[in-house]
Structure 1
Amino acid sequence: MSTVDVSHDVFRQLPVLTGDRVRLEPLAPSHLDGMMRMLSDPEARRLTGTHRTFDEDEVRDHLAALPLRGDRAHWAITDDGAFLGEAVLHELDPPNASVQFRICLVGPEVFGRGYGTEATRAVVDYAFDVAGLHRVGLEVFDFNVRAQRSYEKCGFVREGVHRGALWWNGIWHDVIAMGIIASDPRPA
């Protein structure tokens, strides 16, 4: 690619993404209950390093404003209508056709079942094949080995470590930087 042509509002019209078991639909106010459950789950908060708490009005306002954001993509991960979590492309850098990825599942009842891997694959495919991005990066905590394996299954490679970047329960943890670029292989 000799020139990069990514719009500042590339995510203005988000499609529904589907996998074998998951459906990713644009995150909306109808997902409020699932978001509140996810944001209050202790294990989901630990895995995402989320120290702050969110009140329902704040989350409701956030969900209502999402359709106005063309620089971010937020999907609800669902299975037969049940809210499983969210997947997000954020920190869009149009001149470099680059974006960051994050994902969070509602809690331990859905961890380790392949939902995160399937959702991540769908978002990566969208980022490269539809949005025309060149790079997707992410950060994952050193203790979240399950997520690291999931990202590797989707083609992400370890790029570096931010030492002692998260203080959680009296211990400093490293943050592992991972990324994938459009020309990298994407395992099936």
Structure 2
Amino acid sequence: MSEDNREKLLDKIISLVSEYGVSGAGILGGLVVAFLIIALFDHEKRLEALDTLSRRLGQQIEKLTTEKEELKHVIESSSRKIGFTASVPSTSKYWNSGTLVFSKVITNTGNGYNPNNGVFTAPVRGKYVFFVNVQCLDKQSIYVDIVLNDRTVLRTMAYSNYDAGPNLAVLSLRQEDRVWVRHAEGRGYFNDPTRPLTTFSGFLL
């Protein structure tokens, strides 16, 4: 067999190995190519051909690993139900700093929300929806932010006469990312403990 024909044969077989990837057929094909390389090529060409084969198979392994991780994420996300709703326990006339802690839990599927500090921690990565409503008290005004890892994402406000201040955010979170509601301006809030008004909710899409 001429040198040119050997090169063409090698390219054809390596392309077939790449097509089959690292399945059983792909691995077997890789072994076949390795034996053909040893049989058909001189030492220098043999090293070059084996290096090419090694790179092709390495690329296929890397691709398969990535696909495996993506599939794992899809399975985790679809099998885990995550969502919470919580409210403040009562009306406050003087609250004016820090995290707004919604300590009265209505639901907390997946246990991502911590009612002790008001922070939601993402159990898995994915897209989450968050909703906050703050109800101002009488003539007072209040501004609050939805915060992701200490960075303000959006703001909402309620201004006078028991006005409502709702807002909603869709956020892409990594596992262990943290989301909470933080004071921005003003003071106080209104709530009816039997029919909650000042609330914080979130769920995984």
Common topology (TM > 0.5): no
Greater Rg over alpha carbons, structure:
2
Normalising by structure 1, we get a TM-score of: 0.24
Normalising by structure 2, we get a TM-score of: 0.23
